[in-house]
Amino acid sequence: MQILITGGGGFLGARLARTLLAQGELSLAGQPRKRIETITLTDRAAPPDDLKNDPRVRVVVGDLNDVLASKQVPAAGTDCVFHLAAAVSGECEADFDLGMRSNFAATHALLEACRALGNKPTVVFSSSVAVFGKRPGFEMPDPIQDDTLPTPQSSYGTQKAIGELMMADYGRKGFIRARSVRLMTVSVRPGRPNGAASSFFSGMIREPLAGVRAQVPVGPEVDHPILSPSRTIAAIIRCAEATDAEWGPLTGLNLPALRCSVGEMAKALERVAGPEATALLDWVPDPNILKLVNTWPGNVKSARANALGLTANADFDEVIREYIRENPQAVKLKVR
């Protein structure tokens, strides 16, 4: 089996690659499990050394539009594509052209390349809960269901919604097997902050655990849907493996979400790492981030994902402890 992961140098892409390599085989859409022969990772930056040095990994570094135009990816015979590459929310709001090139044009070019393969590859597209938004003058749908009408209120959410529609049509035409997976905010992410407006949902935990101050740009009452990295990766793989009957006629699926307020996240941090951790939080509103976050839903349901056996984290304490367990070198405070 040949697999392509766009955004393969990033946190989720690299974690997905490691998980697939560790299990060594994959069942696509309920078909017999096949040995994974090659995983191609493409991104602007090279993946970590452990992936580069694995003989099953092929690395293509460059802008996704460029490597698609030069036909470096996808390789002939590619069975499955995990399309994770994207410009993130804050970047897209600040630079409209960047978002359209990275999230619309690149997705369209990738789908055309998959169509040209001629073997109907399974394409798993990482969409986002940002396809839902609070329209001015209207109440937010509560709860958000799998079939709730997308009403994005950001350039990023709009581009992801366009991607879902393209996926649906390419799937309807039989060019690909389409699986659009709406990711919740993934927390806690290790490493440095990125340009996402939601980055602080990780930063307000990661930085204090490292003994560093962190800004919380919204109020404690803000609700948000969260899913830990391990559960996100497991869900992405399960969506590729689901049979067509299990998946059903829709192409957009909400991943499970832990509904948690920012205040509850701070309380969980204090339970796990004590008041020394929460003393490092600076509650300083950022109007630009608040404007975006206030349009995002807090109460998201995931009936289709639940039917696939996928569940959310039990509580935010579990999310924090997963990060501590996986990144002990980044934790400087004493945890309980």
Residues known to be catalytic = 156
Question: Which residue in this structure is represented by tokens 């580069």?
Answer: 52
Positive or negative torsion for Cα 104, 127, 323, 271:
positive
Helix, strand, or coil (residue 281): strand
Q: Distance between CA atoms of 256 and 304, rounded to whole angstroms?
A: 9
With contact defined as beta carbons under 8 Å apart, do 114 and 74 qualify? yes
Other C-beta atoms lying within 10 Å of the C-beta of residue 118: 10
In this structure, are strands 223-227 and 122-128 parallel, antiparallel, or unpaired?
Answer: unpaired
In whole angstroms, give the CA distance from residue 38 to residue 80: 11
The DSSP code sequence of 18-84 is HHHHHH-EE-STTPPPEE--EEEEEESSPPPHHHHT-TTEEEEES-HHHHHHTT-SSPTT--EEEE-
Interior/surface letters 304-332, b for 16+ CB within 10 angstroms, e for the rest: bbeebebebbeebbebbbbbbeebeeebe
Parallel, antiparallel or unpaired: strands 281-283 and 214-216: parallel
Q: CA 147, CA 131: separation in Å to the nearest integer? A: 12
Instruction: Tell me the CA distances in angstroms from 182 to 24, 40, 160, one per residue in order.
Output: 26, 23, 9
What DSSP line would sit under 73-132, residue for residue?
A: SSPTT--EEEE-----HHHHHH-HHHHIIIIIIHHHHHHHHHHHH-S--EEEEEEEGGG-
